[in-house]
């Protein structure tokens, strides 16, 4: 592997966001292609972060810092990308459902998927079915990801799936759900796919897109 890419990857895994930005700029100054820096350094680093997290060798705070490091590099590279430079793995809309203000789990999944090459639209927290329907019309996603951390807010997931069906959208996309009280059983009941954690979400998204 190229030494410059190795340095960027290593800094990203360690969450050194200032260093990632500096090395990314240095790579650009030395004539490296933006899409190559993304594919060979940033995505490689984020994939490794995903594996370390999956193996229990990295924890949520470290993953969040690594994702911030990736973003510091992406901020420099995105404006320089040409049409078709980076192939998106798919487009995902993410939110925490109506009545629920928990953010970290949803953010983590979104970051892991972004690291795996997905285009992410984060609608934030406390998002009801109507807002999700509007977002689907606007963004035409491949996947909708919903998070709930309270048993009382899980019902909103079912209502959203029903709203997608009523609006003729359900068959055109995949629905992923997760969160502490959510289970495979509940996902099956409402017509969604369950992901136990952020690392599993990437595998699930890849399977759904296949």
- What does the alpha-carbon distance between residue 131 and residue 159 come to, in Å, rounded to a whole number? 12
- What pLDDT sits at residue 198? 82
Tens digit of each residue's pLDDT (9 = 90 or more) over 133-161: 999 999 999 999 999 999 999 999 999 99
Q: Is the pLDDT of residue 84 over 80?
A: no
Specify the pLDDT at position 1.
60
Which pTM value belongs to this model? 0.81
| Tens-digit pLDDT profile for residues 52-83 | 988 999 988 999 899 899 999 999 998 888 87
With bands split at pLDDT 50, 70 and 90, how would you rate the model's confidence at 108? confident
> The tokens of 42 are what?
């940033």
Give the model's pLDDT for residue 70.
Answer: 92
Rounded Cα distance, 24 and 70, in Å: 10
At residue 78, the 3 state secondary structure works out as: helix
Q: What is the pLDDT of residue 144?
A: 98
What the block records as the tokens of 41 is 């350094």
Mean pLDDT, residues 3-17 taken together: 96
> What number is the average pLDDT over the span 111-120?
87
Say what percent of the chain tops pLDDT 90.
Answer: 74
CB-based contacts of 138, cutoff 8 Å, min separation 6: none
Domains of the chain: 3-80 (1.10.1240.10), 91-209 (3.40.50.280)
Distances (CA, A) of 205 to 51, 66, 113: 15, 21, 8
Write out the DSSP string of 139-173: H--SEEEEE--STTTTHHHHHHHHHHHHTT-GGGS
Position 165 pLDDT exceeds 80: yes
């Amino acid at each position: 592997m190229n030494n410059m890419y190795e340095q960027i990857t290593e800094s990203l895994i360690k969450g050194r966001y200032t260093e990632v930005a500096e090395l990314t700029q240095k790579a650009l100054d030395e004539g490296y292609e933006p899409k190559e820096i993304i594919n060979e350094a940033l995505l490689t680093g984020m994939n490794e972060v995903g594996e370390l997290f999956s193996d229990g060798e990295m924890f949520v705070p470290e993953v969040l810092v690594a994702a911030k490091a990736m973003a510091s590099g992406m901020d420099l590279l995105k404006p320089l990308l040409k049409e078709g430079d980076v192939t998106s793995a798919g487009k995902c809309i993410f939110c925490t459902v109506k009545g629920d203000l928990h953010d970290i789990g949803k953010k983590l999944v979104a970051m892991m998927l972004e690291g795996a090459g997905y285009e992410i639209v984060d609608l934030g927290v406390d998002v009801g079915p109507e807002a999700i329907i509007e977002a689907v019309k606007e963004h035409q996603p491949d996947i909708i990801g919903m998070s709930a951390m309270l048993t009382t807010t899980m019902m909103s997931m079912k209502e959203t799936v029903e709203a997608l069906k009523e609006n003729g959208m359900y068959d055109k996309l995949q629905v992923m759900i997760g969160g502490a009280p959510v289970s495979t059983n509940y996902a099956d009941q409402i017509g969604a796919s369950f992901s136990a954690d952020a690392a599993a979400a990437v595998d699930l998204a890849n399977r759904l897109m296949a």
